[in-house]
């Protein structure tokens, strides 16, 4: 059997556009003599549709779209994903389904059994799990059709409570008893830089356990915070990769089940590979957010610091230099090097830059507030005024010319609240909000791997917000090398303060850091959407109460 793996980029709710894309792939697959085309999870409507699933018209449009796809299946079969109605009088209204369509008719409707309800996933909010599973017969092959998480029964959920399995039934155990010839898994598996090794092991383990080849088809593209890297593949019965599609791009590839292939293993990614993948993921995230939101132009504040520099390079790669402009907004506290570094970077990239000094505007604020501030000393209030002036100027450009503002805050700053609401925390999308400061520097080095794009001085000078004389981030925060390690243990690994201290970190620094994280939840609640590249990003995958007292 010749199988086409359709790794495509969908748009949530764009039924006509999605179906046109799928029909085009079916027609191309026919030209390449494919017997079966496999699309990803909820491909008809896009993933994740969230509360759109509560609108009957949304479900009806998906059902209607199936008819357009079915018309194209003369002489070929397809597997598509969409929400379908639960006709029983009990349970949730919908199933997350895979439809097997061949020769103009729906042959089988397979429902997802394991519904994830952790981190970014909340599928049990909408879907009823399957109460039974069965293979599909086609072209002399017995095929087990599974949907994403259905292969993840064996995953251990690592928490402070220890490792344990999160599901009570295993659909693959039931399908495995049927002695299937092939396992097909349609997926919508989001990117995280440390997810590839886990995914690879899950797929290998299932192929090896059931001694059955696996065809895994994942979607590609970005939907707001979530970035999907594709990485669709075929594994043989021993769990070895025999076909691997590229990451972060659309691709239609073919696999013949009856032809011998040369197996090859992918090595585990090095730290350079990790940074490379984060780099490519962020570019895709920016590109798709703009394209799917129908924006074309971006603006950001270029300070001469590392965060805005990396954000600008990524935006230029995603949108084109002609679609990005920057504002330089120096104050009396800005160093000459910061201004010259910013200008040099803008000129290196060929993007438009304008300089709007804020000294006079800031002084006018101080004059107007002079009576109210009488008897006080300059502090964070004056610092935040500068950040908010810059935010206002950037939003003026955004409103006047339609350039979407890119937020440049990194994960370390977002975690500890080192930012100003309605100032440098402004933006339509946060590019680096899931990238720790130490990794921002690695991204900059990766960008400069062949030639100096970001000025070297930007990479070596001590980081500073430059909101008061001789200010440095280290005045308020631990060194980022230490801070990021503590933040990673607390946020990604969910370790307690006592556990982090026991791991060798200084007690005072740990409790200060955790206090800053916990007390700034209200700020993060008001930040723009953050492009997710880690296993635990700020946003709807990390739900914390705003009003709480807990360590």
In 485-529, the DSSP E strands lie at none
Three-state secondary-structure class, residue 170: coil
Name residue, tokens 């495995």. Answer: 176
Distance CA 463, CA 418 (A): 12
Q: Is 41 a catalytic residue?
A: yes
Distance CA 478, CA 509 (A): 7
Beta bridge partners of 266: none
Q: Please answer whether residues 420 and 253 qualify as being in contact, where contact means their C-beta atoms are separated by less than 8 angstroms.
A: no
The residue count for the chain: 551
How would DSSP label each residue in 449-488? SSS-SS-HHHHHSPP---SSTT--GGGTS--HHHHHHHHH
Which two structure tokens, joined as six digits, stand for 414?
Answer: 């977002």
Helix axes 15-31, 56-70, angle to 10 degrees: 20
Q: Please answer whether residues 257 and 247 qualify as being in contact, where contact means their C-beta atoms are separated by less than 8 angstroms.
A: no
Instruction: Of 115, 114, 101, 126, give the one whose Cα is nearest residue 51.
Output: 126
Three-state secondary-structure class, residue 233: strand
Q: Please answer whether residues 251 and 245 qualify as being in contact, where contact means their C-beta atoms are separated by less than 8 angstroms.
A: yes
C-alpha torsion sign, points 285, 288, 293, 299: positive
Q: Is 21 a catalytic residue?
A: no
Q: Please answer whether residues 21 and 53 qualify as being in contact, where contact means their C-beta atoms are separated by less than 8 angstroms.
A: no
Distance CA 268, CA 491 (A): 24
Instruction: Give me the catalytic one of 148, 149, 437, 536.
Output: 148
Instruction: Of 92, 58, 56, 98, give the one whose Cα is nearest residue 77.
Output: 98
Q: Is 45 a catalytic residue?
A: no
| Ramachandran quadrant class, 440 (left: phi over 0; alpha: psi -120 to 50; beta: rest) | alpha
Q: How far is CA 260 from CA 4, 139, 255, 257, 263, in A?
A: 17, 18, 10, 8, 9
Rg (CA), the chain: 26
**Phi then psi dihedrals of residue 407, to 5 deg:** -85, 140
Count of beta carbons in the 10 Å neighbourhood of residue 495? 18
Element holding 240 (H helix, E strand): none
Which two structure tokens, joined as six digits, stand for 321?
Answer: 């230099």
Instruction: Give me the catalytic one of 45, 72, 110, 112.
Output: 112
Instruction: Give me the catalytic one of 21, 41, 199, 536.
Output: 41
Q: How far is CA 154 from CA 173, 198, 207, 532, in A?
A: 11, 11, 13, 25
Write the burial class of residue 215 (CB in 10 Å: 0-12 exposed, 13-18 middle, 19+ buried).
Answer: buried
Catalytic residue list: 41, 112, 148
């Amino acid at each position: 059997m010749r199988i086409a793996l359709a790794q495509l980029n969908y748009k949530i709710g764009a039924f006509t556009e999605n179906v046109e894309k799928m029909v085009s792939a079916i027609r191309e697959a026919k030209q390449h003599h494919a017997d079966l085309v496999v699309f990803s999870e909820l491909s008809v409507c896009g993933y994740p549709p969230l509360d759109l699933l509560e609108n009957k018209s949304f479900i009806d449009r998906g059902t209607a779209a199936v008819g357009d796809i079915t018309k194209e299946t003369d002489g070929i079969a397809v597997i598509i994903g969409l929400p379908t109605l639960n006709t029983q009088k009990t349970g949730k209204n919908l199933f997350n389904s895979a439809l097997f369509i061949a020769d103009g008719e729906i042959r089988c409707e397979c429902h997802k059994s394991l519904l994830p309800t952790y981190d970014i996933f909340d599928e049990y909010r909408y879907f009823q799990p399957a109460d039974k599973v069965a293979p599909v017969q086609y072209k002399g092959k017995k095929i087990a059709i599974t949907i994403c998480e259905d292969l993840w029964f064996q995953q251990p959920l690592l928490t402070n409570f220890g490792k344990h399995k999160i599901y009570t039934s295993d659909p693959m155990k039931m399908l495995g008893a049927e002695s299937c010839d092939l396992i097909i898994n349609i997926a919508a598996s989001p990117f995280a830089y440390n997810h590839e090794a886990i995914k690879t092991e899950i797929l290998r383990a299932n192929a090896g356990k059931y001694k059955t080849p696996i065809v895994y088809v994942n979607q590609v593209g970005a939907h707001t915070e979530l970035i999907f890297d594709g990485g669709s593949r075929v594994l043989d019965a021993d769990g070895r990769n025999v076909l691997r599609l590229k990451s972060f791009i659309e691709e239609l590839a073919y696999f013949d089940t009856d032809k011998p292939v040369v197996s090859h293993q992918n090595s585990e990614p090095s730290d350079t590979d990790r940074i490379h993948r984060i780099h490519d993921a962020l570019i895709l995230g920016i590109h798709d957010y703009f394209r799917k939101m129908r924006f074309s132009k971006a603006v950001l504040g270029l300070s001469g610091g590392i965060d805005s520099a990396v954000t600008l390079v990524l935006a230029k790669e995603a949108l084109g230099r002609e679609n990005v402009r920057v504002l330089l907004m120096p104050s009396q506290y800005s160093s000459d090097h910061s201004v010259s570094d910013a200008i040099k970077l803008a000129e290196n990239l060929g993007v438009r830059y304008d300089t709007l000094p804020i000294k006079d505007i800031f002084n006018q604020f101080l004059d107007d507030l002079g009576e109210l501030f009488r008897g006080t000393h300059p502090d964070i209030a004056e610092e935040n005024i500068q950040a908010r002036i810059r935010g206002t100027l950037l939003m003026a450009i955004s409103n006047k010319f339609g350039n979407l503002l890119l937020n440049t805050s990194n994960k370390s700053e977002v975690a500890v609240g080192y930012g100003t609401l309605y100032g440098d925390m402004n933006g339509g999308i946060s590019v680096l909000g899931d990238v720790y400061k130490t990794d921002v520097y690695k991204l900059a080095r990766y960008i400069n791997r062949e030639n100096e794009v970001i000025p070297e001085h930007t990479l070596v000078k001590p980081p500073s917000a430059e909101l008061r004389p001789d200010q440095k981030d280290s005045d308020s925060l631990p060194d980022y090398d230490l801070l990021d390690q503590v933040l990673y243990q607390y946020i990604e690994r969910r370790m307690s303060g006592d556990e982090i201290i026991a791991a060798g970190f200084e007690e005072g620094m740990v409790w200060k850091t955790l206090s800053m994280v916990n007390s700034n939840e209200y700020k993060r609640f008001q930040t723009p959407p953050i492009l997710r590249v880690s296993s635990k990003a700020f946003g709807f995958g990390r739900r914390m109460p705003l009003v709480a007292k807990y360590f």
